[in-house]
């Protein structure tokens, strides 16, 4: 009995079967499939007795003598026999057992029965077992209606599902399809002029094969389930798994990610290397419940099952800075504390000197903490990390939700430790949720076939940072979006209130943007698996943030929502330059938020009086 997977609204999204089969009798299978199979796999199927002794003996001899693989020497009956063994294995003993099994099959079943079993059980790649599922999957029709060219496309997949995957290697599949069509004509199964005209047709497999939404999400749930309850229950238990996935959001994420990749290739003139494509990952979280609403672990699950949102540990670059700022806020720093954006040299215990640089080699000098995070100033982050100590930064990051190991070193402030997108998103969610930490969850409930609840998510809340620190941090991260390195999200059409942080690693190998609104949090990572540079000038702000905007403007349409101010926050009008209370003479002022008790009391000492006024005043005084 299959296990069913539901989305957060109770809609069925997936079923786990042992195998996906739809058995059909032989006379309902298009003869072209059988003909293509015979010319390609086993020309003497109707004549032999299950194995071909001479070729078998030769294969085994070659295996013993020359260590040649025992591949491509099996008859259809032997291939069927192989399906009766649970694990694939290539050894002489196994080969002999297969031969014995094949003989037994030939003795007990007719050739047609063997063919029928074979076609109904064999694997056609892309998760499709049996000829009916394959016909529907690749061509959207029943096995009964398959044409000769379609049959010649399907059959090679059996031999090597990855090698002859029509989606990944269309050129290769087209060549072998045409070869099989020729063979079908040579053996008189079709007219040779028909074969010639069919060979002119393009490969017309249905694309994409299965519109299965959220494959990486489903795989995450599958792995979790097996760890909790084992494989048997998943495939045979008839269990219901209620997940947190929001199908609408998941669909938007997948659609926009596809568009965005094309945009990146075009805009940054990235070389198209199909073996090593540019990858991305997206996580959408509800920051209050920590339910994962959508997850994308890569561009194409069929090509790579490696989940770049939950399994890849990459450097977060500047996306790590909020942890430094939070550690500073907890130690009495404020949004308007003046910090120095200038070179720093830190002597290390090893005797070396650590002297990082700003990525743009520009130094702003004394600036506010707000401006420093909005413009992502590296040297300010390192200086802060030095002043408050790397241990304090590690402590904050861990409280917020980072689970990857973190080394308490000075470069940590620049995000040099490997972390996953999911844990980064969850740590930011702790800021969004006013300082409350919870673990991210994919599953709400698991119910067995008799209605017993096997699992129910009880997501405990832990106070990680104060609501006031969290609120001030959110306010600082709003500046990143409104006046800092993530302004691109406005250009890409997101209008609502938002807070977030970009991240870019050395040599532009990783681009990050993690941002949230009062309702939802979305994190985006872009990069190559091989740590290659994404492109010249590629940064979080122009590579990752635009995808965030594309997604969020479709899933978070209420742009009237504002972040709520908790008690214990005071607002002061301050001078942007001095970080002190504004005077009528200050040029750039703003309403700054403070944790009560940390607000400034002194007035700006840069702009207290205009110079001309002083001169005039003194001149007047000098007059007799
Ligand atoms: Zn001033």
Q: What is the DSSP letter of 508?
A: G
Q: What's the pLDDT tens digit per position in 172-203?
A: 999 999 999 999 999 999 999 999 999 999 98
- Residue 296 β-bridge partners: 282
Q: What's the pLDDT tens digit per position in 57-96?
A: 666 666 666 666 555 567 888 888 877 765 555 677 777 8
- Mean pLDDT for the stretch of residues 593-605: 96
Other CB atoms within 10 A of residue 359 CB:
16
- C-alpha 480 – ligand 1 centre gap (Å): 22
> Which residues have CB under 8 Å from 368's CB, separation 6+?
335, 336, 337, 338, 339, 576, 579
> Which residues have CB under 8 Å from 231's CB, separation 6+?
none
- C-alpha 367 – ligand 1 centre gap (Å): 12
- C-alpha 571 – ligand 1 centre gap (Å): 17
Task: Retrieve residue 65's tokens.
Answer: 């003598």
8 A C-beta contact, residue 529 and residue 305: no
- So what's the pLDDT on residue 176? 94
- Mean pLDDT for the stretch of residues 523-536: 95
Question: Which residues are designated catalytic?
Answer: 41, 318
- So what's the pLDDT on residue 76? 84
C-alpha closest to that of 156 among 40, 21, 33: 40
- So what's the pLDDT on residue 255? 95
- So what's the pLDDT on residue 146? 95
* Statement: residue 319 has pLDDT above 50: yes
Please give the helix or strand (H or E) that residue 391 lies within, else none. helix 390-400
The answer to whether the Cα torsion of 319, 320, 322, 324 is positive or negative is: negative
Report the alpha-carbon distance of residue 195 to residue 90 in Å, rounded. 37
- C-alpha 244 – ligand 1 centre gap (Å): 50
Q: What's the pLDDT tens digit per position in 154-170?
A: 999 988 887 888 888 88
- So what's the pLDDT on residue 105? 87
Please give the helix or strand (H or E) that residue 132 lies within, else none. helix 131-139
- C-alpha 326 – ligand 1 centre gap (Å): 26
Top mean pLDDT of 200-214, 259-273, 476-490 is at 476-490
| CATH fold label, 22-199 | Penicillin binding protein transpeptidase fold (1.10.3810)
- C-alpha 615 – ligand 1 centre gap (Å): 19
**DSSP assignment of 330-390, as one string?**
HTT--TT-EEEES---EE-TTS-EE----TT----EEEEHHHHHHTT-HHHHHHHHHHH-H
- Mean pLDDT for the stretch of residues 466-482: 98
- So what's the pLDDT on residue 617? 47
Q: What is the DSSP letter of 203?
A: P
Report the alpha-carbon distance of residue 401 to residue 144 in Å, rounded. 54
Q: Count Cβ neighbours within 10 Å for each residue of 543-554 and write b for 16 or more, e otherwise.
A: bbbbbbbbbbbb
Report the alpha-carbon distance of residue 460 to residue 356 in Å, rounded. 40
Average pLDDT, the chain: 90
117-126, 479-488, 539-548, 571-580: least confidently modelled range: 117-126
- Residue 463 β-bridge partners: 436
Three-state SS at 523? strand
Phi, psi torsion values for 162, nearest 5 degrees: -80, -45
- C-alpha 365 – ligand 1 centre gap (Å): 16
- Residue 456 β-bridge partners: 445
360 pLDDT tier (thresholds 50, 70, 90)? confident
The greatest distance separating any two alpha carbons of the chain, rounded to the nearest whole angstrom, comes to 130
- C-alpha 146 – ligand 1 centre gap (Å): 78
- C-alpha 364 – ligand 1 centre gap (Å): 17
8 A C-beta contact, residue 525 and residue 513: no
Task: Retrieve residue 341's tokens.
Answer: 């954006």
8 A C-beta contact, residue 134 and residue 209: no
Please give the helix or strand (H or E) that residue 480 lies within, else none. helix 467-483
- Residue 3 β-bridge partners: 16
- Residue 446 β-bridge partners: 241, 455
- C-alpha 375 – ligand 1 centre gap (Å): 20
Tokens 């405990």 correspond to: 460
Tokens 């609120």 correspond to: 471
Report the alpha-carbon distance of residue 453 to residue 366 in Å, rounded. 59
Task: Retrieve residue 15's tokens.
Answer: 């079923």
Q: Which residue has the higher pLDDT, 93 or 622?
A: 93
- C-alpha 603 – ligand 1 centre gap (Å): 8
Angle CA 178–179–183, to nearest 5: 115
Report the alpha-carbon distance of residue 244 to residue 5 in Å, rounded. 10
Domains of the chain by residue range:
22-199, 314-444+453-555, 568-624
- C-alpha 604 – ligand 1 centre gap (Å): 5
- C-alpha 366 – ligand 1 centre gap (Å): 13
- So what's the pLDDT on residue 612? 55
Kindly state which CATH superfamily the domain 314-444+453-555 is placed in: DD-peptidase/beta-lactamase superfamily (3.40.710.10)
- C-alpha 601 – ligand 1 centre gap (Å): 13
Q: Which residue has the higher pLDDT, 594 or 622?
A: 594
Radius of gyration of the chain (CA): 32
- So what's the pLDDT on residue 96? 81
Task: Retrieve residue 199's tokens.
Answer: 């060979």
By percentage, how much of the chain surpasses pLDDT 70?
91
Q: What's the pLDDT tens digit per position in 202-240?
A: 988 876 555 689 999 999 999 999 899 888 888 888 899
Q: Which residue has the higher pLDDT, 124 or 127?
A: 124
Phi, psi torsion values for 15, nearest 5 degrees: -130, 135
624 pLDDT tier (thresholds 50, 70, 90)? very low
Q: Which residue has the higher pLDDT, 34 or 55?
A: 34
- C-alpha 583 – ligand 1 centre gap (Å): 6
Q: What's the pLDDT tens digit per position in 421-473?
A: 999 999 999 999 999 999 999 999 999 999 999 999 998 999 999 999 999 99
Burial class (CB in 10 A: 0-12, 13-18, 19+), 160: middle
Helix 76-83 with 31-41: angle, nearest 10 deg: 100
Other CB atoms within 10 A of residue 343 CB:
14
Report the alpha-carbon distance of residue 401 to residue 428 in Å, rounded. 8
């Amino acid at each position: 009995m299959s296990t069913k997977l539901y989305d957060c609204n109770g809609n069925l999204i997936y079923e786990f079967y042992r195998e996906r089969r739809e058995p059909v009798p032989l006379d309902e299978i298009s003869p072209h499939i059988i003909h293509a199979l015979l010319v390609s796999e086993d020309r003497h199927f109707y004549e032999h007795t299950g194995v071909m002794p001479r070729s078998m003996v030769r294969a085994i001899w070659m295996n013993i003598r020359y260590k040649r693989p025992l591949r491509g020497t099996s008859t259809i009956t032997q291939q069927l026999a192989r399906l009766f063994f649970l694990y694939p294995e290539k050894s002489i003993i196994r080969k002999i057992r297969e031969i014995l099994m094949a003989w037994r099959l030939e003795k007990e079943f007719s050739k047609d029965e063997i063919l029928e079993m074979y076609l109904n059980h064999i694997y056609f790649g892309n998760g499709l077992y049996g000829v009916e599922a394959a016909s529907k999957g690749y061509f959207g029709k029943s096995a009964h209606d398959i044409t000769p060219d379609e049959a010649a496309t399907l059959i090679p997949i059996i031999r090597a599902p990855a090698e002859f995957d029509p989606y990944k290697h269309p050129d290769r599949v087209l060549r072998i399809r045409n070869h099989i069509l020729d063979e079908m004509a040579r053996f008189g199964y079709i007219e040779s002029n028909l074969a010639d005209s069919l060979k002119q047709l393009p490969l017309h497999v249905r694309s994409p094969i299965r519109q299965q939404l959220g494959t990486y999400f489903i795989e995450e749930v599958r792995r979790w389930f097996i760890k909790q309850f084992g494989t048997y229950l998943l495939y045979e238990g008839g269990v219901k798994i209620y997940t947190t996935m929001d199908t609408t959001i998941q669909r938007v994420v997948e659609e926009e990610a596809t568009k965005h990749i094309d945009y990146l290739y075009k805009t940054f003139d990235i070389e198209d290397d199909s073996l090593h494509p540019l990858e991305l990952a997206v996580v959408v979280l509800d920051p209050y419940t920590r339910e994962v609403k959508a997850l994308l672990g890569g561009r194409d699950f069929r090509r790579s099952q490696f989940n770049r949102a939950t399994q890849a540990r990459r450097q977060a670059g500047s996306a790590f800075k909020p942890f430094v700022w939070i550690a500073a806020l907890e130690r009495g720093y404020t949004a308007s504390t003046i910090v120095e954006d200038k070179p720093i040299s830190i002597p290390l215990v090893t005797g070396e000197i650590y002297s990082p640089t700003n990525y743009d080699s520009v130094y702003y000098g004394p600036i506010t903490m707000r401006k420093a995070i909005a413009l992502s100033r590296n040297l300010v982050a390192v200086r802060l990390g030095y002043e408050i100590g790397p241990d304090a930064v590690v402590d904050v990051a861990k409280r917020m939700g980072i689970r990857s190991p973190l080394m308490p070193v000075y470069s940590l402030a620049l995000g040099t430790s490997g972390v996953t997108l999911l844990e980064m998103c969850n740590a930011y969610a702790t800021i969004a949720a006013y300082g409350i930490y919870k673990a991210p969850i994919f599953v709400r409930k698991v119910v067995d076939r008799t209605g017993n609840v096997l699992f129910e998510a009880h997501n405990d809340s832990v106070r990680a940072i104060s609501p006031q620190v969290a609120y001030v941090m959110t306010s600082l991260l709003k500046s990143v979006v409104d006046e800092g390195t993530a302004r691109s999200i406005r250009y890409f059409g997101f209008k609502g209130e938002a807070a977030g942080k970009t991240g870019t690693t050395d040599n532009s190998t990783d681009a990050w943007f993690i941002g949230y609104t009062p309702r939802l949090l979305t994190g985006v990572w872009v990069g190559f698996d091989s740590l290659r540079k994404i492109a010249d000038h590629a940064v979080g702000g122009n590579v990752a943030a635009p995808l965030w905007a594309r997604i969020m403007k479709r899933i978070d349409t209420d742009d009237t929502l504002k972040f709520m101010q908790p008690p214990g926050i005071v607002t002061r009008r301050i001078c942007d330059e001095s970080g002190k209370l504004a005077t009528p003479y200050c040029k750039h002022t703003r309403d700054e938020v403070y944790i009560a008790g940390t607000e400034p009391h002194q007035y700006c000492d840069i702009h207290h009086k205009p110079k001309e006024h002083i001169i005039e005043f003194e001149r007047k005084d000098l007059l007799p």
